[in-house]
Amino acid sequence: MGRNGLHVAVVGATGAVGQQMIQTLENRNFPVETLTLLSSERSAGKKVVFKGQEIEVQVATPESFAGVDIALFSAGGAVSKALAPEAVKRGAIVVDNTSAFRMDENVPLVVPEVNESDLTWHNGIIANPNCSTIQMVVALEPIRQAFGLKKVIVSTYQAVSGAGAQAIEELKTQAKAILAGESFTPEILPVKSDRKHYQIAFNAIPQIDKFQANGFTFEEMKMINETKKIMHMPELEVAATCVRIPVITGHSESVYIEVEKEGISVEEMKQLLKEAPSVVLQDDLAEQLYPMPADCVGKNDVFVGRVRKDLDRDNGFHLWIVSDNLLKGAAWNSVQIAESLLKLGLVNL
CB of 234 to a second copy, least distance (A): 12
Q: Which of 49, 59, 78, 285 binds a second copy (CB under 8 A)?
A: 285
Q: Which of 121, 196, 234, 265 binds a second copy (CB under 8 A)?
A: 196
Nearer to a second copy (CB atom), residue 63 or residue 287: 287
**Is residue 161 a known part of a binding site?**
yes
| CA-wise closest residue to 11 among 95, 104, 103, 67 | 95
Q: Which of 2, 4, 262, 311 binds a second copy (CB under 8 A)?
A: 311
Specify the amino acid at residue 304.
V
Binding part of the chain for a second copy, among 18-26, 70-78, 240-248, 333-341 by CB under 8 A, reads 240-248
Q: Is 243 in the site for a second copy (CB under 8 A)?
A: yes
Cα separation, 190 vs 69, whole angstroms: 36
Strand partners, 11: 38, 73
Indicate which residue of 131, 197, 232, 296 is catalytic.
Answer: 131
| CA-wise closest residue to 191 among 212, 220, 213, 211 | 211
Q: Is 294 in the site for a second copy (CB under 8 A)?
A: yes
| CA-wise closest residue to 321 among 134, 162, 151 | 134
Is residue 318 annotated as a catalytic residue, yes or no? no
Nearer to a second copy (CB atom), residue 28 or residue 308: 308
Query: What are the helix and strand counts (H, E) for the chain?
Result: 9, 14
Site for a second copy in 134-193 (CB under 8 A): 151, 153, 155, 157, 171-172, 175-176, 179, 190
Rounded to the nearest 10 degrees, how much is the dihedral formed by the CA atoms of 58, 64, 69, 75? 60
Binding part of the chain for a second copy, among 13-21, 52-60, 243-251, 334-342 by CB under 8 A, reads 243-251
Q: Is 299 in the site for a second copy (CB under 8 A)?
A: no
Nearer to a second copy (CB atom), residue 194 or residue 268: 194
Cα separation, 237 vs 148, whole angstroms: 12
Nearer to a second copy (CB atom), residue 175 or residue 346: 175
Q: Which of 20, 80, 128, 199 binds a second copy (CB under 8 A)?
A: 199
Q: Is 262 in the site for a second copy (CB under 8 A)?
A: no
CA dist list (Å): 95 to 6, 46, 75, 337: 14, 23, 12, 8
Q: Which of 67, 206, 277, 298 binds a second copy (CB under 8 A)?
A: 206
3-state class (DSSP) for residue 17: helix
Nearer to a second copy (CB atom), residue 81 or residue 313: 313
Cα separation, 331 vs 23, whole angstroms: 9
Is residue 296 annotated as a catalytic residue, yes or no? no
**Is residue 282 a known part of a binding site?**
no
Render 131-143 in DSSP notation, one character per residue.
HHHHHHHHHHHHH
Q: Is 260 in the site for a second copy (CB under 8 A)?
A: no
CA dist list (Å): 165 to 68, 75, 135, 192: 27, 12, 21, 12
| CA-wise closest residue to 76 among 92, 99, 104 | 99
| Exposure class string for 31-41: b at 16+ Cβ within 10 A, else e | bbeebbbbbbe
Residue 198 phi/psi, 5-degree rounding, is -125, 160
Active site amino acids: 131, 251
Annotated binding site for NADP(+): 14-17, 42-43, 161-162, 325
Which residues form the interface with a second copy (CB under 8 A)? Answer: 151, 153, 155, 157, 171-172, 175-176, 179, 190, 194-196, 198-199, 202-207, 211, 214-216, 224, 237-239, 241, 243, 245-248, 252, 254, 256, 266, 285, 287-288, 290-294, 305-313, 316, 318, 320
Annotated binding site: 14-17, 42-43, 102, 158, 161-162, 244, 325
